[in-house]
Amino acid sequence: MAQSRYYSATAQPTVLTASVTPTTTIVQLQQTVGFPVNVPFILALDYGNPSEEVVLCTALAGTNATVTRGYDGTSATSHNAGAPVRHTWTALDGNDSRAHEGSTSGVHGVTGNVVGTTDTQTLTNKTLNNPVINSPSFTGTVNIANPNITGTVTGGATYSSPVITGATVNTSTLNSPTISGTVLGNASYSNITCITPSASITPLLVAGQPSQTNPLQIWQDSTPATVARVRPDGTLSSNAGLQAGSGNQFQVNSSGNITTVGTLTLGTTGQFTISNTGKPRSTTFTSSFTENNTSVNTGSTTYVDTSTVVQTTIVVPPSGKVHIMGRVEQFNNTNSVNTYSVLNVTGSVSGSLRASTDANALIFSQNNAGNNQRSPATDSIIISSSNPGETLTIKWQHRVDAGSTGAFDYRSITAIPLMG
């Protein structure tokens, strides 16, 4: 509580340096030596004369005092320059002190001990109505109605309609609480309200204790009967079943049966669906085929695309598996050299799934330079490390041994999605 008025025992007498009228609110003083450091304080204008007026100084700037005129029952009147001015007491000071001492609604005149704000005290048989309790630590049995609690709550206390903010609550009984804080142990709650988290409010945290077997949370209907719970390991159990969607399109009843209203969609992009008629279908179980009979040549000793690229794409099904088959005819114009053909596979998400390397290649070894017949070869692979829904790009790439030119003809690629 702020002090009502301030005083000084060293204030020296002074005089007005300018005349004042009954409406003047700033009076000019000759000096203010020893005046109170803080405001407000009392001044007497025309001190000791019949025209003496008591004023309340509310601000002091140098030798200019801002005052409330006609204070404590005196009358605002005119005063001439040179009129004596003193810092003094007034009748209001004595009256305020006596009224405070005799008051039954203040700190004096009450029955029982006065409760201090800093000293350690033990309170017995006190009733707290709508208390605000900061950083409490309760032990024993405590019954508090409608408290606002910030801090740590322990022991076996029972609370009715508490508002608990930023608190840690352990093994207490809370009736109709509103909680934003941390809840530990086996505390008992009824009609709990959790404050919606925001930038300034800590969200509700329900933490289990070592070897705890009781549920972390229990939900009941108005019967009351338990309808759902969160077990100590975090699993959710529902007696009434699971319902999801704005119109409960997906349901798991209490017997464990799954029902859907509309279409059940699986996969990252809905590659597999079951319609509301119960028929499975997929948007990605589509095979792909390409072929080209144009003869192309290359003298590259590294794997390259030829002038005519034989390439196809396929979307990976929910199984993540695709069967790829390819056919190619190879020929080289130089005796005792090799010609190489590889089915190269790249995923839109996975990247390289089958690189163009000799280990993956179909190799034709030319033993007769005069034989112009192409040598046919086929390859069959299964890609099983791709992601459902991504797109595979499959193409033929070729190379030859140094100093030779290879020819490639009748190339084809077939890609088939696999169910499982």
- By mean pLDDT, which of 40-54, 76-90, 178-192, 267-281 is the weakest? 178-192
Q: Which residue has the higher pLDDT, 123 or 172?
A: 123
**Residue 377 pLDDT:** 93
Q: Are 406 and 303 in contact (CB under 8 A)?
A: no
**Residue 96 pLDDT:** 84
**Residue 16 pLDDT:** 97
Q: Is residue 94 predicted with pLDDT exceeding 70?
A: yes
Hey, CA dihedral for 33, 35, 38, 39, is it positive or negative?
negative
- By mean pLDDT, which of 32-41, 102-111, 322-331 is the weakest? 102-111
**Residue 308 pLDDT:** 94
Q: List, for residues 360-376, the tens digit of each pLDDT value.
A: 999 998 877 656 677 89
Calculate what percentage of the chain has a pLDDT beyond 70. 72
- Is residue 271 very low, low, confident or very high in pLDDT (cuts 50, 70, 90)? low
Q: Is residue 335 predicted with pLDDT exceeding 80?
A: yes
Q: Report the pLDDT averaged over residues 207-215.
A: 83
- Is residue 75 very low, low, confident or very high in pLDDT (cuts 50, 70, 90)? very high
Q: What is the mean pLDDT of the chain?
A: 82
Q: Which residue has the higher pLDDT, 34 or 114?
A: 34
Q: Is residue 380 predicted with pLDDT exceeding 70?
A: yes
**Residue 394 pLDDT:** 98
The pair of structure tokens assigned to 141 is 């049995």
**Residue 282 pLDDT:** 62
Q: Are 75 and 53 in contact (CB under 8 A)?
A: yes
Q: For 288-417, give the CATH class.
A: mainly beta
- Is residue 171 very low, low, confident or very high in pLDDT (cuts 50, 70, 90)? low
**Residue 137 pLDDT:** 63
**Residue 197 pLDDT:** 47
Q: Is residue 223 predicted with pLDDT exceeding 90?
A: no
Q: Are 166 and 182 in contact (CB under 8 A)?
A: no
Q: Report the pLDDT averaged over residues 255-275.
A: 70
Query: Distance (Å, rounded) from C-alpha 274 to C-alpha 262?
Result: 9
Q: Report the pLDDT averaged over residues 36-57.
A: 96
Query: Distance (Å, rounded) from C-alpha 190 to C-alpha 116?
Result: 35
**Residue 281 pLDDT:** 62
Q: Is residue 196 predicted with pLDDT exceeding 70?
A: no
Q: Is residue 78 predicted with pLDDT exceeding 80?
A: yes
**Residue 216 pLDDT:** 84
Q: Is residue 10 predicted with pLDDT exceeding 80?
A: yes
Query: Distance (Å, rounded) from C-alpha 73 to C-alpha 61?
Result: 26
- Is residue 410 very low, low, confident or very high in pLDDT (cuts 50, 70, 90)? very high
- Is residue 292 very low, low, confident or very high in pLDDT (cuts 50, 70, 90)? very high
- Is residue 198 very low, low, confident or very high in pLDDT (cuts 50, 70, 90)? very low
Query: Distance (Å, rounded) from C-alpha 245 to C-alpha 262?
Result: 11
pTM: 0.39
Residues with Cβ within 8 Å of 2's Cβ and at least 6 positions away in sequence, in order, are none
